[in-house]
Amino acid sequence: MAAVCIASRVLTKKVLSSKALPAVSQSSRKLHFSIYGKSNAKVSDGISTQYPVVDHEFDAVVVGAGGAGLRAAFGLSEAGFNTACVTKLFPTRSHTVAAQGGINAALGNMENDDWRWHFYDTVKGSDWLGDQDAIHYMTEQAPHAVVELENFGMPFSRTDDGKIYQRAFGGQSLKYGKGGQAHRCCCVADRTGHSLLHTLYGRSLRYDTSYFVEYFALDLLMEDGECKGVIALCMEDGSIHRFRSKNTVIATGGYGRTYFSCTSAHTSTGDGNAMVTRAGLPCQDLEFVQFHPTGIYGAGCLITEGCRGEGGILINSEGERFMERYAPNAKDLASRDVVSRSITIEIREGRGCGPEKDHAYLQLHHLPPQQLATRLPGISETAMIFAGVDVTKEPIPVLPTVHYNMGGIPTNYKGQVTRSTLVPIFFIHPQVQKGKKCRLGSTVARTSAVPQAFFYCGCLSCSPQVITHTPEEGDKVVPGLFACGEAACASVHGANRLGANSLLDLVVFGRACAHTITDICTPGEKLSPLKPNAGEESVANLDRLRFANGSLRTSEIRLNMQKTMQNHAAVFRTGKVLKEGCDKMDAVYQTLDDIKTFDRGIVWNTDLVETLELQNLMLNAVQTINSAEQRQESRGAHSREDFKDREDEYDYTKPLAGQQRKPIEQHWRKHTLSTVDPKTGKVTLKYRPVIDNSLDAEDCAAVPPAIRSY
């Protein structure tokens, strides 16, 4: 269809224009390129004569086209907004495609289920660091989100009677933890993420979203504390583009690549977090990084715990089964964090394997090969492809690997990036009569006069707006800026993410961003004026990196950073190790001034793009390690050897009666907000209280903190 359009457009241009265009070629969708120059964009010299800038105007810009970005982009297009989706990768290549597992939703197909139980499980899983209003929103919207995806065409696996098949997955229980294992995880064979992405992309093509694929977003255009758009580099032809819009949604994903061993794609470089940091806004809870104990050294894929369950053992360079020392009873079947910490301690004490003594071995060759083949089919293939070993003869090199970042851009439950005004806790604006049940089955709590485009979300209008925080005024929204997905910290995952909740997080908050923007703005609104030289610093930085002529290559600095983070900010954290790591990271950050790039061109300059990504990674890394060093407790994924307990406002191991509530400065049940001065690399930390109220106390009571034990 597109080819016909282009062909006919070319033909009609060649032929004299008096002939009328055939109807089929009058497509309403504008391609981001057109044969004879950009259609509605203007070129300006506002920043520099060397780098002419193309200016675009849109109603909304979404940065990132993974699960969350695509959902937000086409949600906005569906509502009639002129939306641009700026992405450095083709949408179906985003890292969401690697998520094989499923989506949690309390549909109740396998047994009686209630989203309030899912709410409880998620709050408990987050170790009470998650904001309960956001978790309430996510778990209540989960069934609707999954049904909506199914209506878009996502081929979930089914039960006999045609309902979506749900399987059991860790951390999900019935009746607030007392009713046994819940079956909530809906999946599409073993490729849920892949299927989700393809479904969303296919669906988005129905609407008029303009895709700007392989455009690397450099920075946000901020003026007077308001976000007015994004400036991006088109990798294909080296031109700079400014996308002006009233609403910017950041959905750029996580930053796994700050660590030496991670499962993330090479493109997971925390670009959104860095853009927000450079704009002077804080990032939240970056010290919470999820590790898996056995990831293949070098490749980064994870080896299942089932290997140890079937009899595999972990050995160090001396051939000793070291888990016997750390967990005498459970040995290799100890819990994940114990195993991760044990491997790290062995490596730190010099008993690591390999030439650099930086990993351990997982030995499976003492097991009978037939048993391996029946119980763990395919493992010999995996080991051969990713580790290059024959699993029946040699051990697999493994080390603890990063696979998810809980932290990110702080948003309220509505998705707005917050700054410091009070967000009313019971802010709901349904557009129907109080007491009526909306199509989704929730009861409307209040009435309002504003008509809403989407009836089915009339009960809870939740929008992921970015926030900042001051102690005097509380959370305040940064106008024009939103975030969703792994890049945002809403925070639904708190200190630890439950499996199968991350795909849910993507779709729910992607949709929520679209709804908030629909509620606040109308399509076609006039944009506020922007300085003609907005984005100057980004282009100056680009120019500096393009002609950088120091002595260290990008890959060397990146490796230094990754090794430092892996050795100091990984699973094993103590005050001394973290302090050492902070100093080393500071030194590595300073070496960024001495960087050398080789490609001086501007067209498809991957050296330049990797260097920009390295700058982004560095900002994330310094914040992660500094936040971890300051947080003196163990909570969820952040566990410290010198502070093994959780520190809350009360001591929840004892009865509460008679205990004095500690002020917020003296306990750690609070979010970390970190900012960096990009020139010096100095990190400043502030804190923000956790939101403990759910959106509607009558509908779903908030869960008071307790000791987390499974």
Partner 1 sequence: MSLLRVCAFTSKRLNTQLLFVDLSFAGCLRTASGAAKDKEPLRKAKTPQGRFDMDDEKPKDPLQKFPDDVNPATKEQGGPRGPEPTRYGDWERKGRCVDF
Q: Catalog residues that contact partner 1 under the rule CB under 8 A.
A: 98-102, 155-160, 165, 167-170, 185, 187-190, 192-193, 263, 290, 292, 294, 297-298, 301-307, 309, 354-355, 373, 375-383, 386-389, 397, 403-404, 499-500, 502-503, 559
Residue 101, number of CB atoms within 10 A of its CB: 17
User: Closer CB to partner 1, residue 381 or residue 645?
Assistant: 381
User: Closer CB to partner 1, residue 231 or residue 503?
Assistant: 503
Q: Output the six-digit token pair for 335.
A: 């819990």
User: Closer CB to partner 1, residue 11 or residue 168?
Assistant: 168
User: Closer CB to partner 1, residue 406 or residue 695?
Assistant: 406
Quote the least distance from Cβ 382 to partner 1, whole Å.
4
Q: Are 568 and 578 in contact (CB under 8 A)?
A: yes
Quote the least distance from Cβ 254 to partner 1, whole Å.
12
Which residue is catalytic, options 336, 348, 375, 553?
A: 336
Pick from 270, 233, 216: which is nearest to 617 by CA? 270
Quote the least distance from Cβ 394 to partner 1, whole Å.
8
Quote the least distance from Cβ 554 to partner 1, whole Å.
13
User: Closer CB to partner 1, residue 167 or residue 446?
Assistant: 167
User: Closer CB to partner 1, residue 403 or residue 511?
Assistant: 403
Quote the least distance from Cβ 692 to partner 1, whole Å.
28
d(CA 621, CA 402): 13
d(CA 212, CA 63): 10
In angstroms, the Cα distances linking 448 to 115, 464, 516 are 26, 21, 15
Pick from 500, 492, 460, 415: which is nearest to 105 by CA? 500
- Which are the contacts of 66, defined by CB distance < 8 A and separation ≥ 6? 91, 94, 95, 96, 197, 251, 253, 485, 486, 506
User: Closer CB to partner 1, residue 164 or residue 462?
Assistant: 164
Pick from 270, 269, 272, 263: which is nearest to 98 by CA? 263
Amino acid at position 510, single letter: G
Q: Are 44 and 57 in contact (CB under 8 A)?
A: no
User: Closer CB to partner 1, residue 334 or residue 691?
Assistant: 334
Quote the least distance from Cβ 350 to partner 1, whole Å.
18
User: Closer CB to partner 1, residue 143 or residue 295?
Assistant: 295
Place of tokens 């089915």: 456
d(CA 222, CA 426): 30
Quote the least distance from Cβ 186 to partner 1, whole Å.
11
Active site residue 341: no
Quote the least distance from Cβ 137 to partner 1, whole Å.
21
184 secondary structure, DSSP code: E
Quote the least distance from Cβ 306 to partner 1, whole Å.
3
389 secondary structure, DSSP code: -
Residue 461's Cβ-side half-sphere holds a number of Cα atoms within 13 Å equal to: 24
d(CA 620, CA 685): 14
- Which are the contacts of 499, defined by CB distance < 8 A and separation ≥ 6? 101, 169, 170, 171, 185
Question: In the 3-class helix/strand/coil scheme, how is 427-491 assigned residue by residue?
Answer: CCCCCCCCCCECCCCCECCCCCCCCCCCHHHCCCCCCCEEEEEECCCEEEEEEEEEECHHHEECC
Judged on CB neighbours under 10 Å (0-12, 13-18, 19+), 136 is: buried
Q: Output the six-digit token pair for 290.
A: 């999820």
Whether the bond between 204 and the residue before it is cis, its omega within 30 degrees of 0, is no
Query: What residues are annotated to the active site?
Result: 336
